[in-house]
Amino acid sequence: MVTILSTLANFEITPILVKLYKQIEVFNPYMPYSKEEAKLKIKELVVEYISKIKDRELSLDERNTERFIERILQILNWDIDNFDQVIRRDSFKVEDRTKIPDYVLYINGEKKVVIEAKVFSESLDNPKYIKQALEYGYYSQVRISILTNGKEIRVYDPFILSKSSEGKLLFSVHINQYENLFDQRLWFLSYNEIKDNTILAKFASKGEVKKPVSEEVIDNIIKGRKLLIDSILRLNKIDDFKIAREHAHKIINRFLFIRVAEDRGFFKEFDHGRILEDRVNIFKKRISQKIKPLMNEMKELFMEINEVYNGELFKPHPCEELKIDSESLGKVIYLMYYIKHENGEEDQVDFSKLDADVLGSIYEKFLGTVIYETKSGKLIEKVDNGIRKEMGQYYTPQYIVDFIVQNTINSYLEENRDKLFSIKIIDPACGSGAFLIKAFDSVYNHYLDFNKQ
């Protein structure tokens, strides 16, 4: 746009025309379809599928299917070229593609829909694909998860409490029904219908739904902390409740570090898939459980990690010498891996699938929930925002990080392209590093643009 306007200026186009050109740029050129227009477009697309694609499905790869899906999204008034609405997975930057949905649809900065795309020839009955789509929605905290191969669309609500995937299915529609069921099915996936949440009002069950994953995880962490404090007070000569709480906090922090790290593919030095769970299983197979409690296994693990990752968190600490009954410790470790719902349904916690916002929310709630001992000796938890205020520990939401980086680093580099190779960025109170990570991404993307030019 800058280049075009500079060229116009060189030809001395009148200021009125330039002003008009700028006004045109302000308005989004994307023109949404009416419902009837969209229905006609879907009919044309179905005809095109039958005449040009159906007999060639086996030879067409995922990208061809994605192009077809994108045309459906366009017809349903999603602006696929607008990053504020549609984000595609960048397969070149992601090592493990199974952990990122193919599309995420946004409205006003909020995730609304996740889409998992398969090639035309793949069956959507594959349990692995269904599980994948449901997990994307659950961990993204999105109520609408779509699984599609272009010729069939299945819409799930991953938050419905049901042990079967069929119980979470809102509806499915096959390509030979796209036109006939357009009003009753497909149109509910259009931009404005999703914006108004009409799909959930019409199709979602009125029964119980799961809590957001961030709430489930923080509930588990707080339960685990209570179990540890209770065991520490019962089995050790500690009169000061605050010291017991501090020890429990230290152990929980270590467990959280391990869980996040192992789910994100670190700990390759240790030949384990799920380190804490593995130690519990080894312990259960031992005959000498009473002689060597589970806490001894944990102490050995902490020492091993400290040898490799010699930070402050795993340095020798009095918590390692505490007596903690193995049953309670085993329950705490279970809570780090699984979420058990009221109906008995069990979800596996995968920290690698939790967005930075979700992790930040968990971090903030964990800091703000304090466990107290009553006069009767009962342990209760209480949200105490004063603790976070006192410690100055707050998590900045991602949309604020994005806004600040866009209006500082991005703007600076766009106006000062010669500074790309010398820019220095400092965040003296970086906390979880949200700003620095986004800043790095911003500079990295400018490098990519520079190399392309």
Single out the residue of 132, 79, 133, 124 nearest to residue 106, CA to CA. 79
pLDDT, position 354:
77
- Give the end-to-end CA distance of the chain in Å, rounded to a whole number: 16
Average pLDDT of the residues in 37-64:
92
DSSP type of residue 309: S
CB atoms within 10 A of CB 436: 16
For CA atoms 346, 351, 357, 363, the dihedral sign is positive
Give the pLDDT band (50/70/90) at residue 339.
Answer: very high
Cβ–Cβ under 8 Å, residues 446 and 422: no
Residue 92 pLDDT > 70: no
> pLDDT by residue (tens digit) across 394-423?
667 677 888 888 889 988 998 998 888 899
Buried b (16+ CB within 10 A) or exposed e, 199-236: bbeeebeeeebbeebbebbbbbbbebbbbbbbbbbeee
**Highest mean pLDDT: which of 45-59, 339-353, 387-401, 434-448?**
45-59
* Average pLDDT, integer, range 390-394: 54
Confidence band, pLDDT 50/70/90 cuts, at residue 96: very low
Structure confidence at residue 437 as a pLDDT band (50, 70, 90): confident
CA distances to 216, 233, 251, 283, 359 from 387, in Å: 22, 23, 20, 37, 19
Q: What is the mean pLDDT of residues 145-159?
A: 95
Return the closest-CA partner of residue 148 out of 91, 77, 66, 39.
66
Residue 349 vs residue 385, higher pLDDT: 349
pLDDT band at 449 (very low <50, low <70, confident <90, very high): confident
| pLDDT tens-place string over residues 289-323 | 566 889 998 999 999 889 888 788 999 999 999 99
CA distance 259 to 264: 9
How far is C-alpha 384 from the chain's CA centre?
A: 27
Q: What is the pLDDT of residue 30?
A: 63
Q: How far, in Å, CA of 207 to CA of 198, rounded?
A: 17
- Pick left, alpha or beta for residue 392 (phi over 0 → left; psi -120 to 50 → alpha; otherwise beta): left
What is the predicted pLDDT for the residue at 106? 92
Identify the band that residue 99 occupies on the pLDDT scale cut at 50, 70 and 90: low
CA dist 289 and 276 (Å) reads 17
Please determine, for residue 108, whether its predicted confidence score (pLDDT) is greater than 90: no
What are the b/e assignments for 270-289, b being 16+ CB within 10 Å?
eeeebbbbbbbeebeeeeee
| Number of Cβ atoms within 10 Å of the Cβ of 301 | 19
Per CATH, which fold does 35-203 belong to? tt1808, chain A (3.90.1570)
Reported as a pLDDT band with limits 50, 70 and 90, residue 1 is very low
Does the pLDDT value for residue 191 go beyond 80? yes
What are the domain boundaries of the chain? 1-30, 35-203, 213-391, 398-452
Confidence of residue 40 (pLDDT cuts 50, 70, 90): very high
- Quote the CA–CA distance of 438 and 398 in Å, as a whole number: 9
Residue 448 or residue 316, greater confidence = 316
Q: How far apart are CA 214 and CA 362, in angstroms?
A: 6
Check: CB of residue 163 under 8 Å from CB of residue 4: no
The pLDDT tens digits for 258-296 are 998 888 888 776 655 688 888 888 888 876 656 688 999
Going by C-alpha positions, the residue among 337, 379, 389 that lies closest to residue 244 is 379
Task: Kindly indicate the confidence band of residue 180, based on its pLDDT and cuts at 50, 70 and 90.
Answer: very high
Across the chain, mean pLDDT equals 82
Which residues make Cβ contacts (< 8 Å) with residue 243, sequence separation at least 6?
none
Q: How far apart are CA 103 and CA 83, in angstroms?
A: 11
**Number of neighbouring beta carbons within 10 Å of residue 139:** 23
Q: Which residues pair with 290 in a beta bridge?
A: none
Query: Are the CB atoms for 173 and 184 separated by under 8 Å?
Result: no
Write out the DSSP string of 197-229. Answer: THHHHHHS-SS-BPPPHHHHHHHHHHHHHHHHH
Band the pLDDT of 206: cuts 50, 70, 90: low
Structure confidence by residue, pLDDT tens digits, 352-368:
877 766 677 677 677 66
H helix intervals, 61-189: 62-75, 127-140
| pTM for this prediction | 0.68
Q: Who wins on pLDDT, 388 or 199? A: 199
Bigger pLDDT: 367 vs 52:
52
Spatial strand order in the sheet of 86-88? 86-88, 103-107, 110-117, 144-148, 152-156, 169-174
Q: For the residues of 396-420, what is the DSSP string, one character each?
A: PPHHHHHHHHIIIIIHHHHH-GGGT
Helices H / strands E in the chain, number of each: 17, 10
Instruction: Tell me what pLDDT residue 381 has.
Output: 66
- pLDDT at position 384 is 60
The answer to whether 45 and 75 are in contact (CB under 8 A) is yes
Among 27-36, 66-75, 386-395, 424-433, the range scoring the smallest mean pLDDT is: 386-395
